[in-house]
Amino acid sequence: MKWNQQTIAVTGGAGFLGQKVVEQLEKKGCKNVFVVRRKDYDLRKQSAVKRLYKNVRPDIVIHLAASVGGIGANRDNPGKFLYENLIMGTELLEQARVNHIHKFVTVGTICAYPKFTPVPFKEEDLWIGYPEETNAPYGLAKKILLVQSQAYRQQYGLNAVYVLPVNLYGPGDNFDPSSSHVIPALIKKCIDARRNGDDSIVVWGTGKATREFLYVDDAARGIIMAAQKYDKSDPVNIGAGFEISIFDLVNLIVQLTGFKGDVIWDKSKPDGQPRRCLDTTRAREEFGFVARTSFETGLKRTIKWYKQQDVA
C-alpha cells in the first residue's frame, strides 16, 4: 500500500504530542489525516468508537489519546486513569479488528515498566515486576493494550504495533500545576518565582531519582517511523538514550531560566520510579530511529515558548 495515500486517524491529535504527529504527517504529504477530538468522539464510549470507524473509515490508526499526569495526578486519579486508558485502547483495538484496518499503532508509556527495572530498560524486561506504585494503574492499563495487540495479531492477523516513548517535553507541553510532568512544572515554578520576586521554590522528593527525556518532535518522528516501517508484535522503546537525576535537572532549569533563589526539597513527597533510562537499540535497528535534539537545546526552546505564552 502507498502509505501516504491512506486515511490516518490520530486519537489525541489535538494534544501536545498529537499536534506534532499530525504536523509531520502532513509535511510528509499525507492528505487524509483525521484528528480525533474528544468533543466529537468520546473514546470512552463504545458507541462513539464505532461511529468513528464508520464515519472516518481509517486505514491506519495512531492511538495517542490518554488520561495522564505527573506523580500528583497519578496519585489522585488511579481509578480514573486505569479505566479511561484501558477502555479507550481496548475499544479502539476491537473496532480496528472488526473493521479490518491496515495498521494500528498503540503509543504506550514508560510507566508500564517494573519499578526496579535494570537500567537501561530493555523491552524484554516489561514483565519482570510490578510498576512503581504511584503510576501503576496507568502503566498497567497501557500495558494490557500490548497484550491485546499481540493477541489480536496472533488470532486475527491485525497489524498492531506498540511503541513505548520515554518522558516527553517541549513547546506546547502541559504547564498546569495540577497535572503537569516534571519539566514544565519546574520551568513554571522558576519563571513564576522570578516574576513574583520569590526567593525560593519547593520541589518534590529527594532529587535522587533519574529520568530520561525525549523532545516532542523527536517522539513524533519515531512514532511515524514505526507506523511506516515496523510490523512486528514486539514492543519498541523510543527514547534519547540518557538519564539525568532530578537534582541535576532542577539545577539546569534554574540556570537556564535565570532563577536566583533557593531550592527547597520536600522529602515528604514521593520520588516516583527510582531510575528511568531506555535501551533504544531495537528502534534503531528495526526502523532507524535516533533522537536528534540535544537536551539543553530542547529545554531552551521549551523555556522560550513558555515565556512567550506568559507574556501573551
Say what percent of the chain tops pLDDT 70. Answer: 99
Is the confidence at residue 71, as pLDDT, over 80?
Answer: no
Looking at 171-271, list the stretches that DSSP marks H as alpha helix, in order from N- to C-terminal side: 182-196, 216-229, 246-257
Query: pLDDT value at position 4?
Result: 81
Quick: pLDDT tens for 5-16: 899 999 999 999
Mean pLDDT for all residues in the chain: 94
Query: pLDDT value at position 196?
Result: 93
C-alpha cell at 277: 533510562
> Could you tell me the pTM of the whole model?
0.93
Say what percent of the chain tops pLDDT 90. Answer: 87
Query: pLDDT value at position 312?
Result: 43
Mean pLDDT, residues 212-239 taken together: 97
Quick: pLDDT tens for 298-310: 999 999 999 998 5
Cα–Cα distances (Å) from 185 to 151, 169, 180, 191, in that order, read 38, 11, 6, 10
- CATH number, domain 3-170+213-241+276-292, options 3.40.50.720, 3.40.50.10860, 3.40.640.10, 3.50.50.60: 3.40.50.720
Quick: pLDDT tens for 122-151: 999 999 999 999 889 999 999 999 999 999
Quick: pLDDT tens for 153-181: 999 999 999 999 999 999 999 998 888 88
| H or E stretch at 145 | helix 136-156
Query: pLDDT value at position 68?
Result: 82
List b or e across 234-265, with b for residues whose CB sees 16 or more CB atoms inside 10 angstroms. ebbbbbbbbbbebbebbeebbebbebeeebeb
Given the residues 138, 152, 230, 306, the one annotated as active site: 138
Mean pLDDT, residues 176-202 taken together: 92
Query: pLDDT value at position 1?
Result: 62
Query: pLDDT value at position 311?
Result: 53
Query: pLDDT value at position 241?
Result: 87
Of the candidates 232, 286, 271, 279, the one whose C-alpha atom is nearest the C-alpha of residue 110 is: 279
Of the listed ranges 73-82, 96-105, 215-224, 277-286, the least confidently predicted one is 73-82
Query: pLDDT value at position 208?
Result: 94
Query: pLDDT value at position 307?
Result: 92
List b or e across 179-190, with b for residues whose CB sees 16 or more CB atoms inside 10 angstroms. bbbbbbbbbbbb
Of the candidates 301, 195, 205, 298, the one whose C-alpha atom is nearest the C-alpha of residue 250 is: 205
Query: pLDDT value at position 310?
Result: 58
- Domain boundaries along the sequence of the chain: 3-170+213-241+276-292
Alpha-carbon torsion (78, 72, 242, 184), positive or negative? positive
Mean pLDDT, residues 107-119 taken together: 93
Decide if 152 is catalytic.
no
Is the confidence at residue 102, as pLDDT, over 70?
Answer: yes
Cα–Cα distances (Å) from 126 to 112, 114, 209, in that order, read 7, 6, 20
**Alpha carbon distance 47, 95 (integer Å):** 10
Phi, psi of 265 (to 5 degrees): -90, 120
Quick: pLDDT tens for 31-70: 999 999 999 999 999 999 999 999 999 999 999 999 987 7
C-alpha cell at 32: 487524509
Quick: pLDDT tens for 203-220: 999 999 999 999 999 999
Of 289 and 67, the structure prediction assigns the larger pLDDT to 289
Q: Please answer whether residues 162 and 110 qualify as being in contact, where contact means their C-beta atoms are separated by less than 8 angstroms.
A: no
> Residue 146 in 3-state DSSP?
helix
